[in-house]
Structure 1
Amino acid sequence: MSLAETVETATERLNTTIVDRPRAVIVVFLLVTGVFVGGLGSIQVSAGGLDSFTEGLPEQEAEDQVTENFQGPFQSDTQDTTQLIRTDSNVLTKEALVRDARLIERISDRDDLRMESANGPAPTIARQLNPSASTPEDYRRTLERAPPSDIRQAVRELEEESRLSGSVSNDFNPTSVSASASITIISHDFPESFDDVTAVQTDLQTVADDMPGDVRAFGSGTTEAEIRQSMTDSLGIVMPVVILLLLFFLIVAYRDPIDVLLGLITLVMTIIWTFGFLGYARIPFSQQMISVPVLLLAVGVDFGIHIINRYREETERGFSAIEAMREANSQLIVAFIIVTVTAVFGFGANVISTLDPIRNLGIASAVGILFTFLLFGVFLPAAKLVSDDVRTRLGVPEFNSSPIASEDSALGRILAFPAQVSQYAPTVIVVGLLLSGGAMGAYGSGVGTSFENEDFLPPEEIPAYLTELPASLSPGEYTITSTINLLDDKFGSSQGSTVTVYVEGNLKQDHALEALAAPNDNPPDPLAVGSGGQAEAQSIITVIKSHANENEEFATLVDRNDQNDNGIPDQNLEQIYDELFASSASERAERYLTEDYRSAKIEYQTDSDATQTEVTAGGAELADRLRFDATATGSVVVLAAVMDRIFQSAIQGLVMAVALTAVFLVIIYGILERKPLLGVVNIFPILVAIAFLVGTMRYMDITLNALTATILSISVGVGIAYSVHTTHRFIDEYDATTDAHKAMMITLTGTGGALFGSMLTTALGTGALALAITPILGNFGVLIGMSVTYSFLAAVIALPPAVLLWERVHQWDIDLKARLRPTT
C-alpha cells in the first residue's frame, strides 16, 4: 500500500468513526475533558516580567555574581528588600528625618514585617550624630534631640559619602542641605522557602500610609502583585469582549441557536484541555500566555465555521445528514490536518527560542492547536450529527441552514472578483505582488527591537475607556509605573549608564592591577568619556589611589611597590590588599574586590548618547582585552543580550516555520494529489502577507519585543490556513472541471465565504487583545489582527493568479510528457 493510500485509509477510518459512532466519540471526548479538568488546579501563575527572560543568560549570571560578591551601599538581594521612597519639598529637614525614623521604628515593631535592618538618610545621619545608635528607637531619639544645625552639619560631613548621597535624589544640595526625595532600604529576614513577599510589602505600604507624607513601598513583591493584577484585569476585560465577538460571529455564521451552543461548548472544551495541559506539564501561565486562549478561540471558530458551512452545502445538494457529514468530512479532514500541522510548525517554531517564556508560549500554542483540531475536527461533527438527530426526533425546527455565501450572493461575487481579474494577466499580477512584497519586506527589515520593564507593566495612566467599565470589569489602581518613573526622574543618572566588567582570576599576581587598568587608555568610543579619550573607570585601583591620598603610610607602601611610577602597584599586591581591607577604606574596597582576592569588578561610565548595542559591544570589547576571565554585564548589557535573543528568536522562528511548512506542503500535495508545486503556491500568499506585516510594524513603530517577536512565525501558523483551505477546495473543484479559473471561481464563492467569516472572527477576536492593560499584549493584539487580515486578503488576491500560473506550468508539464512519450 502506497503512502497516499495509507493516508487516505486512515482519514476514511476516522471519518467513518465520526459519522457511524458519533455518540461514542462524544462520550470519549467528555471523559478526556474530565481528565484535563483535573489539571486546572495545578496551573502555576508567573508574573512573567524581566526576570523570566534573563534567567540563564551568561550576562545575567555575571550580574548575579556581582550582586552577590560586591555589596555596595544599601545593596542586597532585591527579593529581601523593600524601598521606601519619600518625596517632599525637602526630605533632609529635621521633621522629615524624624518621620522616617518613626516609620522605621513602627515597621521594626511589627514582627510579621520581618525587618532585619534599615539604611537610608535617617539612620545614616543619626549614626553620624551618635555613633552608638544602632536601633530604630536610637535613630528616632537621636534625631529628635539633635538641633537642626547639628543635623545640617552632619549632612555636610557626609556629603562625599555614598551611603548618604546614594540614598537622596539627584538634586541633593549639601550647601542648603536639601533634596526632594530619599530612599530608605528595609532589609527583611525571609526564610529560604518564604513565598509571601507580596503580602509583607503590601502591609508595609499600609503602615507607611498611616504616617504623614508621601511614602511609596517598592519591591519585587509589589511589582509582581501589580503584574499579576494586570494579568487578571486584562483577562477580565479581553475575554468577555472576545466571547461576545465570537458569539456574535457564531450567530451570524450559524444562524441557529443549537449550532451556536455546540460551537460554544467546543470552545470551552478547547480552553479546558489547553489549560489542563499547562497544569499537568507545569508550564507557568504568564502575561504572554494570555494570547494563547484568544488565538485558540479564534482558530477554533475558524474550524467550526468551515465544517458547519460545508455540511450545509452538502445538505443543500440533497444529501441526508449522515451522508452530508461524511462528504463534508472527507473533503475537510485532510485540509484540517494540513492546517493543523502547518499551524503547529508556525506556533511550535518558537520552541527553539533560548528564552523560556517564548519557548513555553510555543509549546502551549502548538499543543493547543492540536487540541483545537481534535475538538473541532472530530468532536464537533459528531455532536452536530447527534444534535440534528435529536432535533429531528423532537420536531425542533431549523432556523437557517444555508451556507454563508453562494455564487449568487453579493459576498460571493466580491470574493470571486480577484479570480475573475486574474485570468487576464496572472503573470503581471504575480510579479507586481512579488515586487510590492519585496519592497515592504525590505522596508520592514529595519523594524526595531525592544525589551524594557514598561512592556510588562500597566501604564501610568489607565485609558479613559477602561475606567468607564462596570465595577466588575474596571481595572484596579496601579502605581508601579509611576513609581519607576519617579525613581528614574529623581535618582537616575544624566551622564549615561554604566557597564560592569566582572573579572575572575588570581588577582594577587604582580601584573593583576596593571592588567585591570590597561584597557582604559584606548577604550571603545561608547566608553571613552574620560579626559583625553580615556575610560572613566571605578575599580579597586580607584580605591587604592584614593586611600593613598588620605593615608601617608599606605601611600608609602604603594610607592614602594610601584615599579613604573604610575600610581598602580605591580608587586606585593597581597600585602597591599591586606592593608587596604584592614583600613578605614575597607567598605569601599569590598565593593570592587572579594576578600579572597579572586574576583573583582570594574565599573565603566558610558556615553549618554551611545545606544544599547554600542554600549554592549564596547563592554564586551573591554572584557576581551583583560588578561583574566572577564564578562561584561550590567542592566544595559543584560537587556541588550535579551533583545539580541528576541531578534534571533523572531528570525529563526520565521525561517523554521516557513521552511517546515513549505517542505510539508510540497510533500503532502505530492503524495495526496500528485501536485507538489501547489505546496509552493500555498506559501506565496503568506510570504506576501508577512512582508506587508513587518512593513506595517515599522511604519507604526511597533517593535519586536518579548511577545511580538513571536508574531512572524505565528502569522505563518494562523495565516497559512486561508491558503490551505482555498487550495484544498480548489483541488476538489479542479479535479471535477479541469479548468483552473472555473474551479477558483467556485472555490472563492463557496469556501471564500467561510474564509471571510473566519477572518472576521479571528481578526476581531485576537484584535481584542488591544484592550489589554499592558502594552505588550495590546501591540500583539493589533499585530495578530493585521496578520490575519493580510493573510485572508493574500489568499483571495495573491493565490488565484499564482494558481493560474501553476495550471500553465502543470499543463506544460503534461504536454511535454505526452510529446516525449514513445509512440507504438
Structure 2
Amino acid sequence: MRETLLGRATRFVTEHNVVVLVVMVLLTGGILAGIPQLDTSSQSGGTADQFEDVDRVQKSQYIEDAYGNATDDESTRTFDPVYVWNEGGNALSKESLLAGLRYQQAVTENETVQAALHDDGIQGIENLVGARAADGDGSLDAQIAALESMSDSEVEAVLGRVLDENPRATQFLPTDHEGTTSADRRTLAVLDTTVDSETREDAESVLYEAATERSDAGFFMLSSDAYDEATSQFFGEMVELVLPVALALILFILVFAYRDIVDVVVGMTGVVLSVLWTFGLLGWLGVEAGLMSIIPVVLIAGLSIDFGFHVFNRYREERGPEDEIRAPMARGVALVATALVLVAATASIGFLANLSNPLPVIRDLGVTVTLGVVSALGIFVTVVPALKISIDRTLERVGLDRRKAPLGHGTYLRPVLEQSVTLARRAAPVVLVLAVLVAASGGVVWTQLDQESYQQADGDVAEWKQQLPGPLGWEETPIFEQQRHVESVYQPANADDAIQSEILVEGDVTSPSTLEAIDAGVQTIGQEGLLIDQARTSARDSPLTAMQRVAAESEEFAAVFAEADTDGNGVPDQNLAEVYDALYAADSETAGQVIERVDGEYRSVLVTLSLDADFSESSAIAPKLDDGAAVMADDGQRTATAAGPIAVNEAVLDNVIDGVVTTMLVALAAIVLALVVVFRLMHGSATLGAAVACPIVLVVGLVVAAMYLLDIPLTLLTALLMSLVVGLGIDYNIHIGDRFADELRGGADSVSALRTAVTGTGGALLGSTLTSAGAFATIALVPHPQVQSFGSIVVVALVTAFVVSFLVLPSVLLLWSRYAGVSLAVSTPTEEPTPQD
C-alpha cells in the first residue's frame, strides 16, 4: 500500500511539477477566497450550558430561574469614575478641587455628554465643597467662583466641615482616608442606561479624552477607551519588536542550517501558504478565529518549518553525485512522507482531543490547529517539492550546481548525534528507568501547580527594553499601575459596580436557626475584609436586610419581626414561616428577591454580597466564601452554596483542568493506538509503533515539572497548551522511529539502523527545534505573564521532545529490537521516475 499510494503520488508531483504548481495555485486561490468570510469575532469563554454538570453552575442557573424575575436590575444609571491621583501632593487642595470643577464644566458643555448623563449628573467631593462655599448654589460657575475667591486655608476649612458632616463625601475618597489631605479622590460621572449604547460610548470617550488632557494634574480613567488604547499600544509594540526579532532569528537559523538561500525562500513560501490555507479553510467552515488565533499561527509555522527541514534533508541525502533532480526528490519525498503523514495524523489526534473540552474557544483552537497541520502536509508534499524542482532545474540549466550536503552529516554535528546511539548500546536499561522516574515526577508535581483563571499583566517593562533604539523600545503603559492603585485604595463606587456573590441556602429554611446562621456566615465573610463598607452602599442583601427595610416602613410587619426575635439581637429566631408570610404580605416584591416561595412552601433563601475584591484573586476568595456558606449551612441542617461569578469561575477552572487530564489521556491512548496500527500496516510491527509512542509520556511529565520549576500556573490558556503538548511531543519520535524501521526493512542491523536514523534525521530535527524554539523564545520579550507562559511552555515542549527523541528513544528502540523485535520485511526499491520537462 505504501509503495502504491505514496510512491505514485510523489512520482506524479516530481514528474509533473509544473502541472502540480498550476493546480495548487488555482486551489490556493479558491481556499484563500474563504479568508474574507472569516469570523473574527471575540471568542467566548463559555456559558453555563457548557458546564451544566458543575454544581456551582447548576446552583447559579437555579438562582436565575427562581429569583431572576424578582432580582432583575431596574437601575437606569451606571457610574464612570474619573480618578485624580496626585502622588506626593494633595488631591484635596484648592487647586486640585478647582481643576475637578473645570473638568466637569468642560465635559458637560459637550452635547453628547449632555445627552448621556443621568439626572444625577457628575458628582465629586469638589461639588460638595463648592456648593457649601457657594451657599448651596449647585451651578458649576457659582462653585468655581466661590472657590476662586477663597484662600487655601478657607477652602481647607470648608472641606473639613464637609468631611465631618456629609457622609456622601466618603464614597469619593480612599477607603482609609483621614483628615483634609489625600493623594487621591474620584469623581463619578453617572450615565443614563436608557440612552442608546452608541451615545453612551461616545460620551465615555469624551470623558476619557478630557481626563487624558489633564493627566499632568493626575486625572485618569479606567474606561474601555483606556484599555483599548493600552491594547493597541501593546500589539503595536509586539509587532515592532517581537515579530522582527522572531523573523530575523528564524531566517538566521534557516540560512545557517540550509546554507542555501533558495531553500530558505522555498521553505518560507510553504510556511506562509500553510498559514493562509488554514485561515481560508476556517472561513469556508465558519470556525471562529478571534484574538487567540496567534496560537495556531505560531504552532502551524513551527510544524511547517519542521516539515520543510525533513523534505529538504531527505532529498539531499538521496541525491548522489550523478543523480538528476526528479528521481532523488521522488525517493526522498516518498520516504519522508510516511513520517509526515504520521506526524500530521497523531498531532491532529492530540489537537482534536480538545473537542471534548466544554470551552468553545478551546474546541475552535483544536480544529484550527488541525486544519493547519493538514494544510502544511498538503503544501509540503506537493507545492514545496514541485517548486524546488522547478527552481533547481532552472538554476542548473544556467550552470549552478544545486547539490547540497544534508544536515547532520557535518564534521562536528554527526559525532555528537552518534553519542546517543553509544549511550543506548551501553546503558539502555538505565536510561529507561531514569526516564520513567522523571516522567513520574511530573505526575507528582501536577497537583502542586498554582491555579489561576488568567495571569494579569502588571505593566512592568524591563529597563533595557525601554532603552532599545527607535521604534523597537517598549513603553510602560500606566493603566496597569493605575488599576492596581485603584484596587488598593478604593472600594467600588456602589453595590452595582462591585462583584456580586450569591449564596443559595436550601433545605429547611424555616428552622429557627436559619437567619442567625445566615447572619453569622455573612459576618464570617465580612471579617475577611471581603465586603464593601462605604457609606450609603449596601454590602449585603439577605432575608434579614430585606426584613429590616420593610420593618422600617410597615408597623404591622415590624411587630411580627420583633415578636419573632426572642433574644433581642435583631434576628428572628422563631416562627420563621410566619415571619416570611408577613414579609410577603407587607412587600411581596422585596420578599421575592430573597426568599423562594412555591405553592406556599419556602424552598430556599438567597444572600447577595457586594465584594471588595477582584477576579485575579479568585483562588484566594472562593475558599473564604465557602467558609461563610458552611456557617450558613449550620452543620448540615441546610445546604449553602456559593454560586456567584468568583465561585463559579473557580469551579469552571477546576473542571477545565480536570478535563485536560482526561483529554491528555484520551489523546495519548489514541496516538498509541494509531501508531500501533500504522506501524503494523506499514512496517509489519505493532510493538514498534508502541515503542515509538511511549516516550511522549516523558515529554508531558517534563513539561509539567518545568512548569512547577518556572512557577507557571495552570490557567485556561496553559491548560489548553498541556493538551497541545501531546501533539507537539510525538513529532520527533515519529521521524526517528519511521527512519529506523525503513533502515531495518532495508536489511541493516539494529545498531546500524539506529545510527542512520539518528544521524539522518538528527540535523533536520535539530534545525527544526532551534528554529521553532528560538522563535517562541522571543515571546519572552513581551511584558505580559500570560504570553510569556505560553512561549515558555511551547519552548520547553519542543526542547524536551528533541532531547527525549535523542536520549531516550534510541534506548527504547534498541531494547525493542533485543526483546520484542520482529523481522521486518525487506523492501524492494521502487522504479525511479522518468525525467520529464
Please report the TM-score for the alignment, with normalisation by the length of structure 1. Answer: 0.82
Cα gap change, 1:288 to 1:605, in 2 (>3 Å) = closer
Picking from 755, 758, 767, the partner of 1:745 is: 755
Give, in angstroms, the shift of residue 763 of structure 1: 1.2
Matches of 1:728 and 1:358, distance apart in 2:
31
Aligned to 1:822: none
Picking from 149, 173, 177, the partner of 1:172 is: 177
For residue 615 of structure 1, what is the amino acid of its counterpart?
A: K
Matches of 1:389 and 1:748, distance apart in 2:
30
The within-5 A match list for 1:641-790 is 641-790=651-800
Picking from 138, 142, 157, the partner of 2:165 is: 157
Q: Can you give the 5+ residue segments of structure 2 that lack an aligned partner in the other structure?
A: 493-497, 530-537, 825-837
More displaced stretch, 262-271 vs 315-324 = 315-324
Aligned to 2:481: 482
Matches of 1:98 and 1:230, distance apart in 2:
34
Picking from 436, 439, 463, the partner of 1:437 is: 439
Cα deviation, 1:322-364, whole Å, max 9, x if unaligned, reads 1111111221111111001111122333333223333332222
DSSP-derived class of the 2:331 partner: helix
DSSP-derived class of the 2:404 partner: coil
Cα gap change, 1:98 to 1:634, in 2 (>3 Å) = farther
Matches of 1:168 and 1:67, distance apart in 2:
34
Cα deviation, 1:782-811, whole Å, max 9, x if unaligned, reads 221121111111001101111111112334
Matches of 1:798 and 1:790, distance apart in 2:
11
How many residues are paired up? 779
Aligned to 1:397: 400
DSSP-derived class of the 2:426 partner: coil
Give, in angstroms, the shift of residue 247 of structure 1: 1.3
Matches of 1:221 and 1:475, distance apart in 2:
20
Whether the aligned pair in 2 keeps the contact of 1:707 and 1:777 (CA below 8 Å) is no
Matches of 1:277 and 1:81, distance apart in 2:
44
Aligned to 1:539: 541
Cα gap change, 1:698 to 1:198, in 2 (>3 Å) = farther
Matches of 1:757 and 1:256, distance apart in 2:
14
Matches of 2:561 and 2:228, distance apart in 1:
52
For residue 459 of structure 2, what is the amino acid of its counterpart?
A: E
Cα deviation, 1:699-755, whole Å, max 9, x if unaligned, reads 121112232222322222122110000000000111123511110011111111111
For residue 103 of structure 2, what is the amino acid of its counterpart?
A: L
Whether the aligned pair in 2 keeps the contact of 1:199 and 1:221 (CA below 8 Å) is no
Aligned to 1:411: 413
For residue 116 of structure 1, what is the amino acid of its counterpart?
A: L
Matches of 1:84 and 1:550, distance apart in 2:
35
Whether the aligned pair in 2 keeps the contact of 1:289 and 1:361 (CA below 8 Å) is yes
DSSP-derived class of the 2:185 partner: strand
Give, in angstroms, the shift of residue 559 of structure 1: 4.1
More displaced stretch, 272-281 vs 332-341 = 272-281
Aligned to 1:108: 108
For residue 259 of structure 1, what is the amino acid of its counterpart?
A: D
Matches of 2:291 and 2:268, distance apart in 1:
25
Give, in angstroms, the shift of residue 271 of structure 1: 2.3
Whether the aligned pair in 1 keeps the contact of 2:92 and 2:182 (CA below 8 Å) is yes
In the alignment, does 2:605 pair up with 1:602? Answer: no
The within-5 A match list for 1:183-194 is 183-188=186-191, 194=197
Give, in angstroms, the shift of residue 574 of structure 1: 6.5
Picking from 429, 433, 441, the partner of 1:427 is: 429
Aligned to 1:28: 23
Give, in angstroms, the shift of residue 292 of structure 1: 2.3
Cα gap change, 1:528 to 1:92, in 2 (>3 Å) = closer
DSSP-derived class of the 1:424 partner: helix
Please report the TM-score for the alignment, with normalisation by the length of structure 2. Answer: 0.81
Aligned to 1:615: 624
Aligned to 2:80: 82
Give, in angstroms, the shift of residue 691 of structure 1: 1.4
Cα gap change, 1:36 to 1:524, in 2 (>3 Å) = farther
More displaced stretch, 779-788 vs 632-641 = 632-641
DSSP-derived class of the 1:737 partner: coil
Give, in angstroms, the shift of residue 246 of structure 1: 1.8
Cα deviation, 1:580-604, whole Å, max 9, x if unaligned, reads 899xxx9xx9997999999854328
Give, in angstroms, the shift of residue 396 of structure 1: 4.8
Cα gap change, 1:491 to 1:647, in 2 (>3 Å) = same
Q: Can you give the 5+ residue segments of structure 1 that lack an aligned partner in the other structure?
A: 531-535, 815-824
Cα deviation, 1:529-579, whole Å, max 9, x if unaligned, reads 69xxxxx99334553576699789588435455275663453354764786
Whether the aligned pair in 2 keeps the contact of 1:527 and 1:604 (CA below 8 Å) is no
DSSP-derived class of the 1:184 partner: strand
Picking from 207, 212, 221, the partner of 1:209 is: 212
Matches of 2:137 and 2:586, distance apart in 1:
28
Whether the aligned pair in 2 keeps the contact of 1:537 and 1:603 (CA below 8 Å) is yes
DSSP-derived class of the 2:174 partner: coil
Matches of 1:237 and 1:645, distance apart in 2:
37
Picking from 303, 313, 323, the partner of 2:307 is: 303
Matches of 1:650 and 1:70, distance apart in 2:
36
For residue 680 of structure 1, what is the amino acid of its counterpart?
A: A
Cα gap change, 1:123 to 1:579, in 2 (>3 Å) = farther
Whether the aligned pair in 2 keeps the contact of 1:643 and 1:705 (CA below 8 Å) is yes
Whether the aligned pair in 2 keeps the contact of 1:266 and 1:380 (CA below 8 Å) is yes
Cα gap change, 1:700 to 1:568, in 2 (>3 Å) = same
Matches of 2:430 and 2:25, distance apart in 1:
53
Cα deviation, 1:266-302, whole Å, max 9, x if unaligned, reads 2221222223344555555555332322222221111
Whether the aligned pair in 2 keeps the contact of 1:558 and 1:568 (CA below 8 Å) is no
Aligned to 1:264: 268
Root-mean-square deviation (Å): 4.5
Picking from 325, 328, 331, the partner of 2:332 is: 328
Give, in angstroms, the shift of residue 760 of structure 1: 1.0
Cα gap change, 1:372 to 1:97, in 2 (>3 Å) = same
DSSP-derived class of the 2:369 partner: helix
Cα gap change, 1:510 to 1:355, in 2 (>3 Å) = closer
DSSP-derived class of the 2:176 partner: coil
Matches of 1:71 and 1:220, distance apart in 2:
25
Whether the aligned pair in 2 keeps the contact of 1:759 and 1:788 (CA below 8 Å) is yes
For residue 168 of structure 1, what is the amino acid of its counterpart?
A: L
Matches of 1:144 and 1:543, distance apart in 2:
45
In the alignment, does 2:511 pair up with 1:501? Answer: no
Cα deviation, 1:442-471, whole Å, max 9, x if unaligned, reads 2354222222461xx4x4232234334454
Whether the aligned pair in 2 keeps the contact of 1:730 and 1:744 (CA below 8 Å) is yes
Cα gap change, 1:378 to 1:600, in 2 (>3 Å) = same
More displaced stretch, 319-328 vs 441-450 = 441-450
Aligned to 1:818: none
Matches of 1:474 and 1:251, distance apart in 2:
27
Give, in angstroms, the shift of residue 143 of structure 1: 7.8
DSSP-derived class of the 2:712 partner: coil
Cα gap change, 1:137 to 1:23, in 2 (>3 Å) = farther
Cα gap change, 1:384 to 1:241, in 2 (>3 Å) = same
The within-5 A match list for 1:213-292 is 213-280=217-284, 283=287, 285-292=289-296
Matches of 1:683 and 1:334, distance apart in 2:
16
Whether the aligned pair in 2 keeps the contact of 1:288 and 1:777 (CA below 8 Å) is no
DSSP-derived class of the 2:694 partner: helix
Whether the aligned pair in 2 keeps the contact of 1:47 and 1:287 (CA below 8 Å) is yes
For residue 263 of structure 2, what is the amino acid of its counterpart?
A: D
For residue 115 of structure 1, what is the amino acid of its counterpart?
A: A
Matches of 2:550 and 2:131, distance apart in 1:
24
Cα deviation, 1:410-453, whole Å, max 9, x if unaligned, reads 21121111112212332232122212332344235422222246
Matches of 1:144 and 1:16, distance apart in 2:
90
